Amino acid sequence: MALTNNKNVLAWVDEMVALTKPDKVVWIDGSKEQLAELRALSISIGEMEPLNEEKLPGCLLHRTAINDVARVEGRTFICTRKKEDAGPTNNWEDPEVMYAKLRKMYDGVMKGRTMYVIPYCMGPIGSKLSKVGVEVTDSTYVVLNMNIMTRMGIDAFNQLGDESNDFVRGLHSKADIEEENRYICQFPEDNAIWSINSGYGGNVLLGKKCFALRIASFQGKNEGWMAEHMLILGLENPQGEVKYVCAAFPSACGKTNLAMLIPPEVYREKGYKVWTVGDDIAWLRIGDDGRLWAINPENGFFGVAPGTNVKSNPNALASTQRDTIFTNVVHNLDDNTVWWEGLDKNPPKHAVNWKGEPWDCTDGSKGAHPNSRFTSPAENCPCISPEFNNPQGVPISAIVFGGRRAKTAPLVYQSRDWNHGVFVGSIMASETTAAATGAVGVVRRDPMAMLPFCGYHMGDYWQHWIDMGKRLGDKAPKIFNVNWFRTDDEGHFIWPGFGDNMRVLEWIVNRCEGKADAVETPIGFEPKPEDINIEGLEDITVETVRDLLSVDKNLWKEEAKGIHEFYGRFGDRLPKELSDELSNLESKLG
């Protein structure tokens, strides 16, 4: 039975039913009873496997098809009426052409299947900053994941109300999981997302990247706010004051880890603590006080499993110990639990790998897919911020950009002002990871970590950043860049990273409060090496920090050439402020 009187929702669901022709339609109310039924159903049809109820209560294991393990950027489209509105960094197709092509593929695709109608809210229920979506899908994996990642169920329809038409329409079908017919299509001008032939996270949990970034970035441009690929954390000092920081790193470059950071002992003793508000997406608006405020639109974490362990990220690991869905990890048959590379040094002897094959690690192959994931409720996280559900969000003091760079980028630097900070974000580059299909380890430009997620022309997006800065004036957050991934001649990471990133965060927050010194370099302000606290670190000396902060002018001159080339793609939509910043950098490099 329909759960809403909203005629816009009812008419759209009718249209989707007429197109896909499911045997049955189930409206998801979010009740415990309905979820228990769905879990049982999902297990009975083999989509999920139940895990050890004592060790991992409420947890489930899922394996995707072998050809369907990550986002597919080559098959992701922004369908705006005018091609130039999608910009040079997005795949584009005319909406009418794409709808016509996809309609043929969706026609009758749910025959013999059930359609689930999922109402969900991105952001705290009752917040003016939140937005509602409705996803129809033929996958129980999607329903059970959406239950963790969003505020799902009847509350979302209450938030929408009976009259509003402001909801994002998401259509998903697994179809036959055919790689060559996989499409992830955003129609920003229609508030619509059509996804077909995938059953993997970012392609099918339509509230996440498709809505909360691609559609929302377009909405934000038109409505005067921002949707960003950023974690949000609160850093509490010994006096109990909390400062909030947002950070944008590309996929699999450390957002979840930084968001859940546990400070090193020397900081913990003094009373420092980090609180997690979000680990992947931030929606940012200017508050009544003129400052920038952030909410996390999500309700859970879709985190990278490999490398997560008691040392690197105990908070993430703790979050996965109940009511979690594991995707593409190793199934330990001895005690019906899960394992992944980097969890501990005891791979299970009697196990099944992510492909569903018997596996015992002796052949040298990886048991878990490098992009295997956990979906965990935010409320499981031991350091979840008391402000997590605050409808106002949290005020942001600093914005941090970063990526994986073996050489060029120093450990940390600060931009001279907002527009220079927008420049710093726009020239971000990072080595690619397993979070998207394609080659891994290739350096590519990834402005603001939004290359795969910006729902409109990247030049207009940069202009929007510049305009937001004008509105914020002297209340604008300070902008920084970090790089945890510089390597030595043997390719080892020099900086210990993880909890020790606190040492860099401290300098960042102190800079925001005018409490720390800096030296000017051609690329921006840097700490004096002795101002990064290395107390308690074994292998790091002030000299190592000096090295990590070094700016190689020759590498940066090469970099400037690369930026020219990249900027050239944006034509007259490149804001003049940014080309001026590039000239300025070149003149400072000499």
Binding region for ligand SPV (CB under 6 A) out of 21-29, 127-135, 200-208, 456-464: 200-208
Contacted by 312, from ligand SPV, ligand GTP, Mn ion, none: CB < 5 to 8 Å by type: ligand GTP
Binding region for ligand SPV (CB under 6 A) out of 201-209, 238-246, 282-290, 467-475: 201-209
Q: Which of residues 488-527 bind ligand GTP (CB under 6 A)?
A: 493, 497-498, 501
- Sign of the Cα torsion 30, 35, 37, 41 reads positive
Residue, CB closest to Mn ion: 280
- Quick one: which of 196, 226, 304, 383 contacts ligand GTP (CB under 6 A)? 304
472-508 b/e (C-beta count within 10 Å ≥ 16 → b): eeeebbbbbbbbbbbeeeeeeebbbebbbbbbbbbbb
Structure tokens at 295: 């909410």
- Quick one: which of 119, 153, 170, 202 contacts ligand SPV (CB under 6 A)? 202
Contacted by 217, from ligand GTP, ligand SPV, Mn ion, none: CB < 5 to 8 Å by type: none
Query: What phi and psi values does residue 105 have, to the nearest 5 degrees?
Result: -75, -30
Query: What phi and psi values does residue 390 have, to the nearest 5 degrees?
Result: -65, 120
Residue 101 C-beta: closest distance to ligand GTP, Å: 29
Q: What is the Cα–Cα distance from 572 to 393, expressed in whole angstroms?
A: 36
User: Which is catalytic among the residues 210, 253, 381, 383?
Assistant: 253
Residue 371 C-beta: closest distance to ligand SPV, Å: 8
- Sign of the Cα torsion 576, 577, 578, 580 reads positive
Q: What is the Cα–Cα distance from 189 to 451, expressed in whole angstroms?
A: 20
User: Please, where are the H alpha helices in 260-298?
Assistant: 265-270
Nearer to Mn ion, 85 or 280 (CB): 280
- Quick one: which of 22, 123, 153, 201 contacts ligand SPV (CB under 6 A)? 201
Binding region for Mn ion (CB under 5 A) out of 5-13, 65-73, 251-259, 459-467: 251-259
Contacted by 175, from ligand SPV, Mn ion, ligand GTP, none: CB < 5 to 8 Å by type: none
| Rounded (5°) CA angle 15-20-26 | 80
Contacted by 135, from Mn ion, ligand SPV, ligand GTP, none: CB < 5 to 8 Å by type: none
Contacted by 119, from ligand SPV, Mn ion, ligand GTP, none: CB < 5 to 8 Å by type: none
Binding region for ligand GTP (CB under 6 A) out of 47-55, 216-224, 246-254, 424-432: 246-254
Q: How many CB atoms lie within 10 A of CB 180?
A: 7
Does residue 420 interact with ligand SPV by CB under 6 A? no
Containing 258, the helix (H) or strand (E) segment is: helix 255-259
Between strands 358-359 and 351-352, the pairing is: antiparallel
Per-residue contact flags (x/-) with ligand GTP for residues 415 to 454, judged by CB under 6 A: --------------------x-------------------
- Quick one: which of 280, 323, 431, 446 contacts Mn ion (CB under 5 A)? 280
Strand partners, 445: 429
| Rounded (5°) CA angle 176-177-182 | 115
Per-residue contact flags (x/-) with ligand SPV for residues 266 to 285, judged by CB under 6 A: --------------x-----
- Sign of the Cα torsion 269, 527, 227, 64 reads negative
- Quick one: which of 4, 173, 251, 337 contacts ligand SPV (CB under 6 A)? 251
| Rounded (5°) CA angle 328-382-448 | 65
Nearer to ligand GTP, 79 or 248 (CB): 248
- Quick one: which of 169, 174, 208, 243 contacts ligand SPV (CB under 6 A)? 208
Asked if 253 is an active-site residue, the reply is yes
Nearer to ligand GTP, 41 or 537 (CB): 537
Residue 189: exposure state from Cβ atoms within 10 A (0-12, 13-18, ≥19): middle
- Longest C-alpha distance within the chain, in Å? 70
What's CA 5's distance to the chain center, in Å? 33
Among 289, 27, 241, residue whose Cα is nearest residue 137: 27
Nearer to ligand GTP, 171 or 282 (CB): 282
Residue, CB closest to ligand GTP: 497
Binding region for Mn ion (CB under 5 A) out of 59-67, 74-82, 210-218, 272-280: 272-280
Nearer to ligand SPV, 71 or 464 (CB): 71
Does residue 307 interact with ligand GTP by CB under 6 A? yes
Angle separating helix axes 576-589 and 418-426, nearest 10 degrees: 90
Contacted by 249, from ligand SPV, ligand GTP, Mn ion, none: CB < 5 to 8 Å by type: ligand GTP
- Quick one: which of 39, 214, 255, 445 contacts ligand GTP (CB under 6 A)? 255
Residue, CB closest to ligand SPV: 202
Residue 538: exposure state from Cβ atoms within 10 A (0-12, 13-18, ≥19): exposed
Per-residue contact flags (x/-) with ligand GTP for residues 309 to 328, judged by CB under 6 A: ---x----------------
Q: What is the Cα–Cα distance from 425 to 445, expressed in whole angstroms?
A: 10
Q: What is the Cα–Cα distance from 401 to 287, expressed in whole angstroms?
A: 22
Per-residue contact flags (x/-) with ligand SPV for residues 292 to 331, judged by CB under 6 A: ----------x-----------------------------
Angle separating helix axes 576-589 and 458-472, nearest 10 degrees: 90
Does residue 446 interact with Mn ion by CB under 5 A? no
CB 246 within 8 A of CB 277: no
Residue 57 C-beta: closest distance to Mn ion, Å: 27
| Per-residue DSSP letter, 440 | S
Cβ-Cβ contacts under 8 Å for 331 (sequence gap 6 or more): 49, 61, 338, 351, 352
Residues annotated as catalytic (active site), given as ranges = 253
Point out which residues bind ligand GTP (CB under 6 A). Answer: 249, 251-257, 279-280, 303-304, 306-307, 312, 435, 484-485, 493, 497-498, 501
Point out which residues bind Mn ion (CB under 5 A). Answer: 251, 280
Point out which residues bind ligand SPV (CB under 6 A). Answer: 71, 201-202, 208-209, 251, 280, 302, 435
